[in-house]
């Protein structure tokens, strides 16, 4: 197992510390990797930065959401690698050997939950925790061929978790298959507050047009046909009165400002301890004014209300998870930045609204996984998991 761990670079090389778990329960017998932004009693929460780890003290308590999984019988398998301060969506932390994408070696895993997704996709853990602030569950899941849910904002406790941008941060997880994913959801989510069945599929040209590349475009059309075979053909909606560019900057500015508020004091004076790309993202947050945040927050509120009206009680949007398959690991900085900017235009709909979105591992382009997503009303998380499972069953992949 250690040899495989070294090959995938999924787990951190840390001393073994006893982490109690219940002897029985719905997750008994299954192993659990924990992203290194969540406290586990006895371990320092390193947050993907060696300086942060060196200065930290061992946690005295385990994050409540992680504790729920342990109390359900899951067995702690170790801490998994994360992007530096969880502020990236590629999975290439400059301080550590990069996790390997088991589903598409030679391509990035996606981040920031890079170690967790590699551990599950590579068979090193049955379950692993992640977080999704700007896409850090949805993107890794799509890139590595797994289900990934960005949960309704604030539905699962983030106590005992490193904050990045609190109004965007959400708890998430990866699991080896749809049945296991649902088991974890049963433990963490409780009943959906949204009780009306999701029966009205929707689509928007603006989102579909963000798919990049002829092969991805053709595959996305095929995937929408697969989903429509289960849910019915989606109705085409007019785009809301918020441009793609406006929503992109709304997400970027609010998220970056919150990230600087959370970490700026620690970063100042330690700039040489961070990778340049990470530092640049935090530094941008320092330049965003309070007036800009107020204006973008008003835009965000308006967008959330508009999207809520579009969905109604029974609607869900079918959309691409990412604009393309995982970029190649040896891509250039410009290529990575181009991907990131295009991806944010898709990911920000769930992030700005706080509504749940699930990515389903249905497609493949150039021997790499390619996902499709469903975005539902707030509180419809378990309904989305059930719908994803039904869609996967329809193609024999549950």
Q: Considering 113, 131, 136, 350, which one is annotated as catalytic? A: 136
Distances (CA, A) of 325 to 36, 243, 282, 381: 26, 25, 27, 25
Q: Alpha-carbon torsion 243, 249, 252, 255, what sign? A: negative
Q: Considering 112, 113, 350, 380, which one is annotated as catalytic? A: 112
Structure tokens at 371: 């996902």
Active site residue 112: yes
Residue 54 CB contacts under 8 Å (≥ 6 apart), including other chains: none
Locus of tokens 């017998």? 29
User: What does DSSP say about strands 200-203 and 315-320: parallel, antiparallel, or unpaired?
Assistant: parallel
> How far is the C-alpha of 255 from the C-alpha of 13, rounded, in Å?
31
Q: Considering 31, 35, 114, 389, which one is annotated as catalytic? A: 35
Active site residue 350: no
**Which of 247, 223, 384 has the alpha carbon at shortest distance from 306?**
247
Q: Could you tell me if 237 and 203 are in contact, meaning their C-beta atoms sit under 8 angstroms apart?
A: yes
Q: How many CB atoms lie within 10 A of CB 350?
A: 29
Secondary structure class of 223 (helix, strand, coil): helix
| 273: β partners | none
Secondary structure class of 100 (helix, strand, coil): coil
Radius of gyration of the chain (CA): 19
> How far is the C-alpha of 251 from the C-alpha of 236, rounded, in Å?
25
DSSP 149-212: EEPPTTSS--TTB--SSTTT--EEEEESSHHHHHHHHHHHH-S-S--S---EEEE-HHHHTT--
* Length, in residues, of the chain: 398
Structure tokens at 150: 């960005």
Structure tokens at 362: 């249905």
Structure tokens at 264: 């700026």
Active site residue 113: no
Locus of tokens 């970490």? 263
Q: Which residues are catalytic?
A: 35, 112, 136
């Amino acid at each position: 197992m250690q040899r495989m761990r070294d090959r995938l670079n999924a787990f951190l090389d840390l001393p073994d510390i006893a982490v109690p778990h219940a002897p029985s329960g719905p997750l008994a017998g299954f192993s659990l990797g924990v992203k290194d932004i969540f406290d586990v009693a006895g371990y320092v929460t390193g947050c993907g930065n060696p300086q942060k780890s060196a200065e930290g003290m061992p946690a005295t308590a385990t994050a409540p959401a992680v504790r729920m999984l342990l109390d359900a019988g899951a067995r702690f398998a170790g801490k998994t690698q994360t992007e530096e301060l969880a502020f990236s969506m590629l999975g290439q932390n400059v301080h550590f050997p990069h996790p390997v994408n088991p589903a598409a070696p030679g391509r990035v895993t996606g981040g920031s939950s890079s170690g967790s997704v590699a551990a599950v996709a590579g068979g090193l853990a049955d379950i692993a925790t992640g977080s999704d602030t700007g896409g850090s569950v949805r993107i890794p899941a799509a890139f590595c061929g797994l289900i990934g849910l960005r949960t309704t904002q604030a539905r699962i406790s983030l106590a005992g978790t490193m904050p990045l941008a609190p109004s965007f941060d959400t708890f998430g997880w990866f699991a080896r298959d749809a049945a296991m994913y649902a088991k974890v959801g049963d433990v963490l989510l409780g009943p959906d507050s949204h009780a009306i069945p999701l029966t009205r599929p929707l689509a928007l040209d603006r989102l579909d047009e963000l798919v990049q590349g002829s092969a991805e475009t053709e595959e996305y059309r095929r995937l929408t046909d697969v989903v429509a075979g289960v849910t019915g053909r989606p109705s085409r909606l007019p785009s809301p009165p918020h441009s793609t560019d406006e929503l992109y900057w709304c997400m970027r500015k609010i998220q970056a400002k919150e990230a600087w508020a959370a970490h700026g004091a620690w970063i100042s004076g330690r700039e040489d301890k961070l990778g340049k790309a990470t530092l640049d993202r935090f530094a941008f947050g320092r330049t965003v004014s309070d007036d800009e945040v107020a204006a973008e927050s008003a835009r965000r509120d308006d967008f959330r209300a508009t999207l809520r009206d579009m969905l109604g009680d029974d609607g869900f949007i079918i959309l691409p998870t990412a604009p393309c398959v995982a970029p190649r690991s040896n891509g250039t900085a410009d290529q990575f930045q181009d991907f990131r900017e295009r991806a944010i235009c898709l990911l920000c709909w769930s992030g700005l609204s706080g509504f749940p979105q699930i990515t389903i591992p249905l497609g493949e382009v150039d021997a790499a996984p390619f996902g499709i997503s469903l975005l539902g009303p707030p509180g419809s998380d378990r309904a989305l998991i059930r719908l994803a499972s039904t869609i996967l069953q329809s193609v024999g992949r549950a």
